[in-house]
Structure formats: C-alpha cells, structure tokens
Amino acid sequence: MQSFNHFLREKGVSNEVRSLLYHIARSVKYINFSIRAGNTGKCESQNLFGENQLKLDVSADKTIADELEKSELVTVIASEEKDKPEKFKSSRGNFFVAYDPLDGSSLVDANLAIGSIFGIWENADNILGKKVGENLIASCYAVYGPRITLTIAIKDKGAHEFELNDVGEFILSREKVEIENQSKYFAPGNLRACLNNPNYKKWVDFAIENKKTLRYSGGMVPDLHHILSKGQGIFCYPRDKKHVEGKLRLLFECAPFTFIFQEANGIGLNQEGKNILDTVVEDFHQTTPIFIGSKEEIQTVVKFLRKH
Ligand code: P6P
C-alpha cells in the first residue's frame, strides 16, 4: 500500500508540488470532518452567483485558504466562494491555486456525495488574458462519499486515485486511471437546454436509442468521478437561455477536470468543439459549456450539437 507522498516522489513529482498537494490533502481531511459533524446549516450570505452559502461552504473555503497559506508556496488563490482572488503576503513559491471548496454543497441535505476541486498553476503572474491550460501543472478533486478519495493528475504523469484510510492517510487505491473511447453511460446535464436546442434533444434521444445507462446525480464531482471510476462516460452541461455561457466555472471546475481527464486519455470540449484548456481567461468567474469524458463519444455529442 503506497502512501500519497511516497508514490508521488517515485513518480518524480517535485518537492514543492508534493508539499502543496500534502496541504490540499490535509484540508480535504478537515472538510470531511466538518461534513460528518453535520454542520450543514445555511449562512445568511450568498456567493457571487447568488447561490445561498452553507456554513460548510464558508468553513471549507477558509480551511483550504488556511492550508494553502501554511504551505508558503502559493502567491495567489482564487475561490468559487470569493468574489476576488487573494494574494498571500509571504510565500517562497509562485503557485496560483483556484478551487471550488465544496461543489454541489446543496446536495448535502439529501445526503448525496459532494466534492472539492483544485487547479494548480506554476506561475501566479497574471492568469487573465492567457489560455487557462497555460502553466496548469496539476489538478485534483476530493469526493466526500461512502469513501473519501482524492484523485490527482500531474502533467504528463497520469491521474491516480488515493483513498483516506482509518488512520487518516491517503493510500494509493487506483494507479493510472484510464478512460476508454466508447461508453455505455451518459450524464446529460441541463436537460432544460433541449427546449431551445433541438440538437441536444436529438443527441439525448440517440443515447437512449443506443441503450446508454443514465448516471447523473446533480453533483459534478461524483458525476465525473463515476466516469473515471468506470473508465467510461459522457458528462454534458450545454448552454441554454438561462446560462448563455454555460453554468459551470472555467477556473474552478472545468479546467481542473479537463486537465485530469486528459491525463486519463479522456477529453474536455466546449460547445464549439474546442479544448476547454485553450479557453482564454477573461474573468476569474467566467463559465463555459462543457462536454467531458470518453473521447469518441464526446466528439459525437459535439458534432450532434453543431451539425444537425
Ligand atoms: P443543475 C452543482 O450546483 C453544480 O455546480 C455542479 O456540481 C453540477 O454538475 C451542476 O451544478 C448541476 O446543475 O442545473 O443540474 O442543478
């Protein structure tokens, strides 16, 4: 059973990135404790998107920010729960970390799995105006479900899953996660888009006619983790009248997951069929439609949306 740090060292991951991931893993452990402690009440506050914040959202956000500051490797952080990025005073590194502290937190009261998402850029100098994939060197996400897992992808070193054991260590549970080109599962998010986009409806009908199995919980993290766990799947969240540029956030959700999926031979495209990681960052909170999963299947979906 390989420990998190031992495995990453063997993979040749730098001391700095390993140390930063260690602090992220520690924040995941603390967040898991607060979820299990049942602190799921609502705050009075709302985030930038007008979404009610749970006490858990705010505490998870603070837990992560504190751990990133303690690492002394991060210069700038951006959180889905904060209106603006924050600069740390003292840091001996120059990493930029964007994170969604508790994605899908509204599902907590239904006792469904939720997660945290992290992207790590090696150069914190202005990310605005650059392609989101430029300097993105690692991404990871935690699933707070029946098991607590942390899946980590490092540039050109693959994606690997670690599971929290009963003594609080993350131990390697799946090395080199791979996604096949075909899939029997599909996760058609934002079905409302079928009302003003007949091509999306055509693709959903095509998936049903091809007997694909629906797997959609409403939580991006468990829904995408399902694809990586089964090694196949299609997750879509197209634009619609309410979400003209999609709902899911480029920096906090779509870029980190596209990075992870690419390291697992999957693909993440926008509604024009372009790689999500080629999207130019214009605003820290910008959103994008996303189609992510098994390569051939995702290319089929995007063709449906563009051609029919
Ligand atoms: P809808 C959760 O609020 C979230 O941000 C993602 O985790 C999830 O994939 C999406 O929104 C679900 O959106 O429109 O189905 O509620």
Q: Which atom of ligand 1 is nearest to the CA of 192?
A: 14
Please tell me the predicted confidence (pLDDT) of residue 39: 65
Which of the residues in the chain have pLDDT under 50? none
Q: Which of 247, 249, 252, 292 to mutate to test the pocket of ligand 1 (most atoms within 8 A of CB)?
A: 247
* Span from the CA of 127 to the centroid of ligand 1 (angstroms): 25
What pLDDT sits at residue 208?
97
| Ligand 1 geometric centre to CA of 237 (Å) | 9
Spacing, Cα 270 to ligand 1 middle (Å): 17
Distances in Å between the Cα of 263 and the Cα atoms of 26, 273, 282 are 24, 19, 25
Question: Mutation test of ligand 1: which of 103, 194, 223 has the most ligand atoms closer than 8 Å to its C-beta?
Answer: 103
Give the model's pLDDT for residue 51: 72
The model's pTM:
0.96
State the pLDDT at residue 40: 64
Q: Which atom of ligand 1 is nearest to the CA of 106?
A: 3
Domains observed in the chain: 4-174 (3.30.540.10), 185-307 (3.40.190.80)
What are φ and ψ of residue 175, in 5° steps? -90, 140
For 58-84, give one letter per residue: b (16+ CB within 10 A) or e: bbbbebbbebbbebebbbbbbbbbbee
Instruction: State in Å: Cα 125 to ligand 1 middle.
Output: 30
pLDDT of residue 302: 95
Following DSSP, what letter does each residue of 224-267 receive, concatenated? HHHHHHHT--EEEE---SS-TT-SSBIIIIIHHHHHHHHHTT-E
Compute, in angstroms, the gap from residue 218 CA to the centroid of ligand 1: 5
At 245, list the tokens. 């540029």
Nearest-CA residue for ligand 1 atom 4 is 104
Q: What does R_g of the chain's alpha carbons equal in angstroms?
A: 18
Nearest CA to ligand 1 atom 2: 104
Q: Which of 49, 106, 190, 220 to mutate for ligand 1's pocket (most ligand atoms within 8 Å of CB)?
A: 220
Q: Which residue minimizes the CA distance to atom 15 of ligand 1?
A: 218
The residues facing 1 across adjacent strands are none
> Ligand 1 — pocket residues by CB below 6 A?
103-104, 106, 189-190, 218-220, 247
Name the DSSP class of 3: B
